[in-house]
């Protein structure tokens, strides 16, 4: 597929006007119109309504894919721009850190998209515990990390990938068990025995875990979601997370209750601010392109097709 056609199509979708799209691309309006016709002919379907200009259902789907493809192409061109002719350098693996379930379905979607775009680069996955919110990156143990909330560290740059409702996870014996359908409020969860984390856990992460509340009542120590759920199903602790947490950790005996008045929170892709590794840039571009397409839908529920 000719990327010029995709570029023209995406410009028309984003501008909502053939003339403005042509001006943005430094092309004539007839040239942009011809690009759209060629693309529709190649794909065998109508992509744009003409009056007013807006994408058809097929065009909506293609727009998401076009953003991903163009982002990957641009990142690849940047990568090749400075390559010398001295021969290929040794291939260094891209190390991906994932805290908990990362950014839900977006996590495997981004990793698989990168593997398709850069099949020659090995990918190493590292599961991060709660204390590694920042240190895995600053300690050079991973190159990119799916974390939450946003790190408060100038050495780290973080991009929003998903934004979701907050939940608490409690045992079936909890007084909040009856609220799993209608939801609870912050006042209801303030006295829960949330699990403890080690003292060197970043404060921004503990504030996120405890909703900024400080009841002084804490359960056993935990470093991973599995630790949390073990404490929950044995009746010793409560946990918190994003709504998608329930899809990934549906343990028997654990109930997931939405917290209606808690601010929605985001998951992030974090990288080292000073890192100029082209592979990191390519992965980041792909993840952000996918986030624009899938992020809002992840907040609504599971996306089975997103992981393929």
The pLDDT assigned to 140 comes to: 95
Distance separating alpha carbons of residues 98 and 95, to the nearest angstrom: 10
ω into 149 cis (within 30 of 0): yes
Contact indicator for 127, 225 with CB cutoff of 8 Å = no
Domain boundaries, the chain: 3-81, 94-161+266-307, 166-263
- The enclosing H or E element of 123 equals strand 123-128
Distance separating alpha carbons of residues 178 and 184, to the nearest angstrom: 9
Q: How far is CA 64 from the centre of its chain?
A: 15
Q: Class assignment of domain 3-81? A: mainly alpha
Q: What is the CA radius of gyration of the chain?
A: 23
pLDDT tens profile 192-214: 999 999 888 999 999 999 998 87
Listed residue (208, 175, 207) closest to 189, CA to CA: 175
DSSP 202-213: -HHHHHHHTTT-
Listed residue (167, 168, 143, 171) closest to 157, CA to CA: 143
Residue 199, Cβ density class (10 Å: 0-12 exposed, 13-18 middle, ≥19 buried): exposed
Beta bridge partners of 94: 123
Listed residue (155, 145, 163, 165) closest to 99, CA to CA: 145
Q: Which fold has domain 166-263?
A: D-Maltodextrin-Binding Protein; domain 2 (3.40.190)
Tokens of 30: 């007839």
| pTM (two decimals) | 0.74
Listed residue (263, 231, 258) closest to 245, CA to CA: 258
Tokens of 43: 């794909």
Beta bridge partners of 95: 124
Alpha-carbon torsion (248, 216, 233, 228), positive or negative:
positive
Write down the architecture of domain 94-161+266-307 according to CATH: 3-Layer(aba) Sandwich (3.40)
Residue 241 has pLDDT above 90, yes or no: yes
Name the DSSP letter for residue 259: B
The pLDDT assigned to 147 comes to: 97
Name the DSSP letter for residue 180: T
pLDDT category, 67, cuts 50, 70, 90? confident
Distance separating alpha carbons of residues 94 and 277, to the nearest angstrom: 10
Contact indicator for 190, 206 with CB cutoff of 8 Å = no
Tokens of 196: 């403890």
Percent of the chain surpassing pLDDT 90: 62
Is the pLDDT higher at 293 or at 136?
136
Residue 301 has pLDDT above 90, yes or no: no
Are 3-81 and 94-161+266-307 the same fold in CATH?
no
Q: What would the mean pLDDT of 274-302 be, rounded to a whole number?
A: 87
């Amino acid at each position: 597929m000719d990327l010029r056609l995709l570029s023209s199509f995406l410009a028309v979708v984003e501008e909502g006007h053939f003339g403005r799209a042509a001006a943005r691309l430094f092309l004539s309006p007839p040239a942009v119109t011809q690009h759209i016709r060629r693309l529709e002919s190649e794909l065998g379907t109508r992509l744009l309504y003409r009056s007013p200009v807006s994408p058809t259902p097929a065009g909506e789907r293609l727009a998401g894919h076009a953003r991903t493809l163009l982002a990957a192409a641009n990142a690849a061109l940047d990568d090749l721009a400075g390559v010398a002719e001295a021969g290929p350098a040794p291939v260094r693996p891209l190390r991906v850190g994932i805290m908990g379930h990362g950014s839900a379905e977006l996590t495997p979607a981004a990793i698989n998209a990168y593997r398709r775009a850069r099949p020659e680069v090995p990918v190493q996955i590292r599961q991060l515990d709660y204390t590694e919110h920042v240190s895995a990156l600053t300690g050079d143990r991973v190159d990119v990390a799916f974390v939450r909330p946003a790190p408060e560290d100038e050495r780290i740059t973080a991009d929003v990938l998903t934004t979701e409702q907050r939940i608490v996870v409690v045992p079936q014996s909890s007084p909040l068990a009856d609220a799993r359908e209608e939801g609870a409020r912050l006042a209801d969860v303030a006295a829960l025995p949330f699990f403890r984390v080690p003292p060197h856990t970043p404060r921004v992460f503990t504030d996120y875990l405890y909703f900024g509340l400080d009841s002084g009542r804490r359960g056993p120590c935990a470093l991973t979601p599995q630790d949390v759920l073990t404490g929950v199903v044995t009746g010793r602790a409560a946990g918190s997370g994003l709504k998608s947490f329930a899809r990934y950790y549906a343990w028997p005996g654990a109930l997931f209750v939405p917290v209606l008045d808690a601010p929605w929170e985001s998951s992030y892709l974090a990288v080292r601010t000073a890192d100029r590794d082209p592979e990191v840039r390519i992965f980041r571009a792909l993840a952000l392109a996918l986030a624009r397409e899938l992020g809002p839908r992840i907040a609504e529920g599971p996306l089975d097709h997103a992981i393929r």
